[in-house]
Amino acid sequence: MAVSRLCAKYQKCYETGGDTSGVEDMLAVVFNKCIEEDSFYDLPMQGICNIVSKKNEHLSLKEADQLVSKLAEKKGQEAAKILSVLDIGPVGYFDAASTVSPLRICPVIRELLDARPVTARTGGDIRQLEKRIQELEKKNAELKKENEENKKKLRAKSESSQSKDLEEKLFLLLPDEKDIVEASESGNLKAVQYYAKIKPKSINLENEEGYSALQIACLNSHDDVAEFLIKNGADVNHSHKKGDTALHFAALGGSLSTVELLLASGARLDAVDSSQMNALNYAAQGGNLDVVKFLVEKGLDPLREADGTTNIWFAAYSGDVETFAYFIDMDIDKEKPNKMGETPLHAAAMSGNVDIADVLIDFGLDPHAKSLSGSTPLDVATEEEMIDFLQGIEFGGDEDTEEEE
């Protein structure tokens, strides 16, 4: 069977230290077949969790029960416990009193795991999570007894003072309070709210690259997370070492509501990054016309260049026809290259939008123009339609001549 062959391929890659991600992707596609195959449950626990994380749809109640029960049988109760923190089943599957899952986790641990789901996306470490749960059980015999006997119903939140105390102790076992940035990247509002409540000062922490939670939320267009962070004291003008701010990222992502909220909360409209790009340049590069128009209304100059690069260049690079059309009628040098010698036609070729390239050629841009590195628009094109279009221009004259002869 296909699943058996894929599992065998995974095992071989795993044992030889090869890249298993491609096989995981394929197994995720045929996941409904995987849960029927014994060979699937022989895979390493980490691999199974990765495959579950990559599945696009929730399992049915029957499928979720089958998966967790089989894992408990094949790999022991701890495997079922770890898998149960993944968001795989119907809403409330692991919280319902009627669940037939082999394991019920105590309310305090359940709440924490809801806030910090362990998936391939967030890069959580399954083994470390298991270890932390075991450590907590060793420290508190009542918790262990509660887990083993399955006497208490799960609930999303616990109001008891004892549970709150345990919740704070369990939080201290987390590896890094900077997880608020990770949660902002994945758009996990519940997790962001949780970390902000337990560690209020963490709201302005940076990740290893120097980006704040607010910047990351704006970059990934998580408007609800960005709004929460802004309203709870996040620094709206925090800048990365390259100078880019949350406003830049919100403009690039195209979130008009977040751009408006940032400016209303004191974000600097004229902030520029190390390439002298302001929020308008970012919005043009993102092809976000509504944000472009709003920023122009607020006072940013559409004719201003960013270190020699025009907004026509940025709009051509975005591939968005409407944004490009907005700038093309302005008094902007349509042929001006950036400092790398790349013309707006080079930018259009990179974006793959033939309509924009066609308009630029009508305006007189040279399809044979070379950048400082010697590349023509055809050289930098990657989309097949754009390549065909530019080749047609380059060789069209020769073809006409041959036909006449």
Over residues 164-212, the pLDDT tens digits come to 443 443 443 343 455 688 788 878 887 788 778 777 888 898 888 889 9
pLDDT band at 290 (very low <50, low <70, confident <90, very high): very high
**Within its chain, how far is the Cα of 214 from the centroid?**
14
Tokens in use for 297? 């209304």
- What's the predicted TM-score (pTM) here? 0.58
pLDDT band at 275 (very low <50, low <70, confident <90, very high): very high
The answer to whether residue 102 scores a pLDDT higher than 70 is no
pLDDT band at 141 (very low <50, low <70, confident <90, very high): low
For residue 60, the model assigns a pLDDT of: 62
- In the beta sheet, which residues pair with residue 306? 309
pLDDT band at 37 (very low <50, low <70, confident <90, very high): confident
Tell me the average pLDDT of the chain: 76
From residue 205, alpha-carbon distances to 177, 202, 223 in Å are: 9, 5, 19
Cα gap 165→159, rounded to integer Å? 10
State what percent of residues in the chain have pLDDT above 70.
Answer: 67
State what percent of residues in the chain have pLDDT above 90.
Answer: 42
For residue 144, the model assigns a pLDDT of: 59
Least confident of 93-102, 273-282, 367-376: 93-102
Question: Angle formed by the axes of helices 289-297 and 256-264, to 10°?
Answer: 30
pLDDT band at 145 (very low <50, low <70, confident <90, very high): low
pLDDT band at 227 (very low <50, low <70, confident <90, very high): very high
Rounded to 5 degrees, φ, ψ at 212 are -85, 165
Rounded to 5 degrees, φ, ψ at 379 are -65, -30
For residue 64, the model assigns a pLDDT of: 66
- Note the maximum CA span of the chain: 94
pLDDT band at 100 (very low <50, low <70, confident <90, very high): very low
For residue 334, the model assigns a pLDDT of: 93
- In the beta sheet, which residues pair with residue 212? 206
Catalogue the long-range contacts made by 355-358 (C-beta closer than 8 Å, 24 or more residues apart): 355/321, 356/316, 356/319, 356/321, 356/324, 357/386, 357/389, 357/390, 358/389
* Mean per-residue pLDDT, 52-59: 66
pLDDT band at 389 (very low <50, low <70, confident <90, very high): very high
Rounded to 5 degrees, φ, ψ at 214 are -65, -45
Catalogue the long-range contacts made by 150-155 (C-beta closer than 8 Å, 24 or more residues apart): 150/103, 150/104, 152/104, 152/106, 152/107, 153/97, 153/104, 154/94, 154/95, 154/96, 154/97, 154/99, 154/104, 154/105, 154/107, 154/110, 155/95, 155/107, 155/110
pLDDT band at 360 (very low <50, low <70, confident <90, very high): very high
Cα gap 67→72, rounded to integer Å? 9
Cα gap 306→201, rounded to integer Å? 35
